[in-house]
Structure 1
């Protein structure tokens, strides 16, 4: 491609940095769209104290896309010790983002200023300027509000949606988010928790409409492991079906899926207590949805867990761009 390809990555949590870190080293125009529905941990506490957009996912992306002295990113990621009373469990970066939000009046402008301070290569867009509440209806008919509560329920989810903080308040996407999606050459979903990191972005109405009308190639990076309750026994095709269903159309063109075997005795299921078992691949069911499965060894075993190898994923994404 003669110009920098415009790549938009959608998600949240700890999954996105895996592919962002290698991507920022390439000649691409990168935008990360990040969920603002987190209400657990330090993010949830700050959200409750001062009613700001939860900063945790944004902090992780800022660090992944920054080009600064590693000492600075180490400070951003530092969490106060549990014995530090009021500051216990808070990440320094979350407090900085909270302060910048008060200074600039909204999270979107705060992140743009902080991105300049941290020499971010690309753009980081919170999906909305206001904190959103994630809701889920489960297979048994129960409805729960709150990302942390949904995650800990460990129940099979039928579908999710978001609202503003106030009951009945319609969620609004930042205009820059919609513009980035419409102008993209490629949209990448994940890697990350399907129902609590990826879908909270795509169900925002303006985002949803943009994803159905953009001319970008759309790629879903399938999770390596299922999550308890959320995606138990899901194949890559079932992950894809949930994504397409929440968008309202079969928009995804490619599913990048790991087929390397995770050794039975490698994963520490106490340390990574949200995961269940390895995702199985179903190429025929992926094809039925109008997508092409790209299967390969994308596995990186580390920290007693199974993760995506960012460099290998990057190679596939750049190959897809070459095809179009």
Structure 2
């Protein structure tokens, strides 16, 4: 029987694993955050009152088996001297247009999934735009994903609130159903506080993650994130995730054991002062999880990334156990 894998996170980290994963015989679902308020996504969220489309766009492209020329058009971003359309991606505009035409973001995504010939399913964690909030370890309160990221502060916890005051947050029923029906649930890779946790803290999602019988996997980041996770070990990343989940739910932690060359990462290019995440398998074991420590490193573009093929192979093997 084809294994059902659900991946939870944002539109930058997940595609690295999704692209090779769809080459396997798996039933893949991506659940994507709706708290992005920066760039084209943020502008469309504010002016059209839809969920931010950027992460969904990137996931659709990662799952697509369609024509490359169409995908290039879908990903095309207008130049900064184009005034009104500056920095907007064509795919973001199409998602906004189809949402307005159909009156439902899920229907808009389904139509685009058909056009792009995607192999899998993509669901927003909620069908309404949400605002990410954070409390720093020093007691300061921050609002908005972009502001939280830019603050470079050590964070204690995050939560989401509706964009419209007084509105109740409702998790996507498709996302909840996918979680409850999954064989394997995968968190990340991606920013812990602004890509992964904004999904986990949505009411209904946390409860589904506590109820599901699926094995749950956290793909630990290779590098720390400036301010937010400075000096965090893989076990400390795990502890924050489990705390927001409300229980020690993670069964496996995938952690890279290959050293990142000291002079390879261009911190100026990436705007990030970071260090390699240190492994702490004993603390992971104490949290009820198993550490799977391997060479998951891919060095490219003056940065340290996950080798998607190697990670995908391990994920598939976990569904076979």
TM bucket normalised to smaller: over 0.9
How far apart are residue 275 of structure 1 and its match? 5.0
Match of 2:33 in 1: 35
How far apart are residue 13 of structure 1 and its match? 3.0
Among candidates 61, 64, 79, match of residue 63 of structure 1? 61
Among candidates 146, 153, 159, match of residue 155 of structure 1? 153
How far apart are residue 271 of structure 1 and its match? 1.3
In 1, distance between residues paired with 2:186 and 2:217? 5
1:23 paired to 2:21: yes
In 2, distance between residues paired with 1:258 and 1:167? 42
Q: Within 5 Å, which residues of 2 pair with 1:133-172?
A: 133-172=131-170
Paired residues, what number?
321
In 2, distance between residues paired with 1:169 and 1:238? 34
How far apart are residue 168 of structure 1 and its match? 4.8
In 1, distance between residues paired with 2:165 and 2:293? 43
In 1, distance between residues paired with 2:273 and 2:63? 27
Among candidates 103, 118, 121, match of residue 120 of structure 1? 118
Match of 2:71 in 1: 73
How far apart are residue 76 of structure 1 and its match? 1.1
After the TM superposition, which of the residue ranges 133-142 and 273-282 deviates more from structure 2? Answer: 273-282
Provide the aligned C-alpha RMSD in A. 0.9
Q: Within 5 Å, which residues of 2 pair with 1:171-190?
A: 171-190=169-188
1:209 paired to 2:204: no
In 2, distance between residues paired with 1:133 and 1:302? 33
Q: Within 5 Å, which residues of 2 pair with 1:238-277?
A: 238-277=236-275
In 2, distance between residues paired with 1:49 and 1:64? 27
1:103 paired to 2:86: no
In 2, distance between residues paired with 1:212 and 1:140? 30
Match of 2:85 in 1: 87
Over 2 Å off, 4+ runs: 166-170
How far apart are residue 249 of structure 1 and its match? 0.3
Q: Any idea what the Cα deviations from partners look like across 1:182-210, whole Å, max 9, x if unmatched?
A: 01000000000000000000101100000
How far apart are residue 211 of structure 1 and its match? 0.4
How far apart are residue 167 of structure 1 and its match? 3.1
In 1, distance between residues paired with 2:193 and 2:250? 17
After the TM superposition, which of the residue ranges 313-322 and 21-30 deviates more from structure 2? Answer: 313-322
Residues 33 and 127, structure 1, Cα contact 8 Å, conserved in 2: yes
How far apart are residue 166 of structure 1 and its match? 2.2
* Distance change >3 Å, CA 41–CA 275, structure 1 → 2: farther
Return 5+ residue gaps in structure 1 as ranges: none
Match of 1:233 in 2: 231
Return 5+ residue gaps in structure 2 as ranges: none
After the TM superposition, which of the residue ranges 137-146 and 165-174 deviates more from structure 2? Answer: 165-174
2:193 match: secondary structure? helix
Among candidates 42, 45, 64, match of residue 44 of structure 1? 42
Match of 2:219 in 1: 221
In 2, distance between residues paired with 1:321 and 1:123? 18
Q: Any idea what the Cα deviations from partners look like across 1:252-305, whole Å, max 9, x if unmatched?
A: 000000010111111110111135111110001101100000001000000000
Match of 1:132 in 2: 130
2:268 match: secondary structure? coil
